[in-house]
Every structure is written in structure tokens, then in C-alpha cells.
Amino acid sequence: MTCTSGPQADRSGRGKANKAQIYHYFGSKDRLFDAVREALVKQLVDGVPIDVDDLPEYAARLSQTYANNPELARLITWQRLERGEDPPNAYAMQTIRGNFDAIAKAQADGLVSDRFKPDVLFALVIHIAALWAFASPDVLTIVNLTDAHQRREIVKSSVAALLG
């Protein structure tokens, strides 16, 4: 994922700007962070839409997105640690509420387990999807599972077990 808003970007998506240009365009590091966060949230939400008919596959796709875009985990961690008091991203919140509603409807229709409330189920699914991206290096070393397909299948089967 690349952020192409702001100063000129080359074909690789990397900016061709210096510090003065960045400050001129964004005004501050905080506003630059906000712009990058906004772009990545939209790319993540739009790029991995929920599929309530197949939540295990949705989790697997989300997990793969984290694997392919390690900057997402870094950005989320930075936001949580350094800017945790910021208001939630409006676009993400709208999408998340829609996901809750879709899960609630699927639960009411008997298509998805109602073992957990829709909001809790969604949180569990996305956190299982983020397992490999957010695990500590120590845990990853001990687990010693580097095969992307195996990691994907573990996420998928874990969500399937959660729903079962």
C-alpha cells in the first residue's frame, strides 16, 4: 500500500520530497501522520471488504494484507501508543458499524454463530487475522512458522473454530 497524496510521488509510490516540502504541504508531522493514516485506512477497508458468508476467508484475506503491508502494523501500533487519545477515524468507524450490522443480520438469519455479540465477534476475527503481524518477535521465533500459506490456513481454521 502506498500513499500518493501530497508531494510528488514516483512510480514506486515513494515520495520525491524533502523535509521543507513536506512541512509546507502538510504543516506538521501530526498532519502528515493523519494524511497517511487516512489513506491507509481507506485502502485497508476498501481493499478487504467483510464477507459475513465466509468470515474465515475474510480473516485470511485480512491476514494476508497485513503480511503484504507491514507498514499497517507499524502505523496501527504507533497510533495506539503515541496517539491513542485521537478521535477514531470516521471512515473506519462507519465501516466497522456496517460490519457489526452485517454480522448481526447473519446471526439473526442463522448463518453465523451467535455465541458472541456482533461487535465482539468482529473484534475477535480481526485480531485473529492480525496474529502474525502483531506477534512479538520472541513468539514468532519459537513458533518458527514462516510459510505464508500455513499462516493463512491457521488464521482461517482459527476463525472457523471460533464460529463452530
Q: Quick check: 46 pLDDT over 80?
A: yes
Q: What share of the chain is helix, strand, coil (3-state, %, to 5)?
A: 70, 0, 30
Query: Domain of 69?
Result: 28-163
Quote the DSSP letter at residue 53.
Answer: G
Give the tens place of pLDDT for each residue, 118-154. 999 999 999 999 999 999 999 999 999 889 999 999 9
The verdict on residue 91 lying in a domain is yes
Give pTM, 2 decimals: 0.80
Cell numbers describing residue 64: 494476508
Q: What is the pLDDT of residue 11?
A: 59
> Is 37 inside any structural domain?
yes
pLDDT tier for residue 8 given thresholds of 50, 70 and 90 = low
Structural contact between residues 82 and 147, judged by C-beta atoms closer than 8 angstroms: no
Predicted pLDDT at 120 = 97
Confidence category of residue 15, pLDDT binned at 50, 70, 90: low
Residue 11 lies in a domain: no
Q: Pseudo-torsion of CA 20, 25, 29, 35, nearest 10°? A: -150
Give the span between the Cα atoms of 132 and 110, in whole angstroms: 31
Q: Please tell me the predicted confidence (pLDDT) of residue 124.
A: 97
pLDDT over 60 at 4, yes or no? no
Residue 109, domain member (yes or no): yes
Residue 159, pLDDT score: 98
Name the grid cell of 108. 439473526
**CATH code of the domain in which 71 resides:** 1.10.357.10
* Mean of pLDDT over the chain: 87
- pLDDT higher at 67 or 27: 67
Residue 113 maps to a domain: yes
**Domain total of the chain:** 1
Q: pLDDT band for position 43 (50/70/90)?
A: confident
Checking if the pLDDT of 115 tops 80, the result is yes
The predicted-structure confidence for 71-107, as pLDDT tens digits, reads as follows 888 888 888 898 888 888 888 899 999 999 999 999 9
- Tell me whether residue 66 is in a domain: yes
Which percentage of the chain shows pLDDT scores above 70?
A: 90
